[in-house]
């Protein structure tokens, strides 16, 4: 069951602010488009279109923004992509504390 059924097939234009943040983050990380976008399950050509202001699927947009805000990290993305993810996650348990940079509050 999808949490956001309305947005399942929705696409959005990436904002100029998002584009600038992505390019800056890629530069800081020293990554090319292939390296950066593969963590979100996106090809280099699609990532390039997104960075030029093309439409972006809602799930990719949200993952990208959450990553830029440091709410999720590469470990989170790798865990979700693992074949055993559904068996590893117990939604009845509270989220575990993790080390690393502090999480930023969500914008309101």
Residues 52-73: pLDDT tens digits?
Answer: 878 888 888 888 888 888 888 8
Q: What pLDDT is stored for residue 44 in this prediction?
A: 93
- With a CB cutoff of 8 Å and minimum separation 6, the contacts of 53 are 13, 14, 16, 19
Highest mean pLDDT among 14-18, 47-51, 103-107: 47-51
Mean pLDDT of 34-52: 89
9-20 pLDDT, tens digit each: 666 677 788 788
Residue boundaries of the structural domains of the chain: 9-81
What is Dmax (Cα atoms) for the chain? 41
Cα-only R_g, the chain: 15
> Which single residue is written with the structure tokens 């348990």?
93
Classified by CATH at the fold level, domain 9-81 comes out as 434 Repressor (Amino-terminal Domain) (1.10.260)
């Amino acid at each position: 069951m999808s949490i956001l059924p309305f947005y399942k097939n929705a696409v959005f234009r990436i904002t100029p602010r998002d584009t600038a943040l992505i390019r800056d983050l890629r530069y800081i990380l020293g990554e090319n488009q292939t390296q950066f976008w593969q963590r979100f399950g996106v090809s280099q050509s699609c990532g390039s279109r997104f960075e030029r202001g093309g439409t972006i699927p809602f799930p990719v947009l949200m993952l990208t923004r959450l990553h830029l805000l440091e709410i999720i990290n590469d470990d989170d993305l790798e865990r979700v992509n693992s074949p055993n993810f559904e068996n590893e996650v117990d939604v009845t348990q509270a989220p575990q504390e993790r080390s690393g940079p502090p999480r930023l509050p969500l914008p309101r």
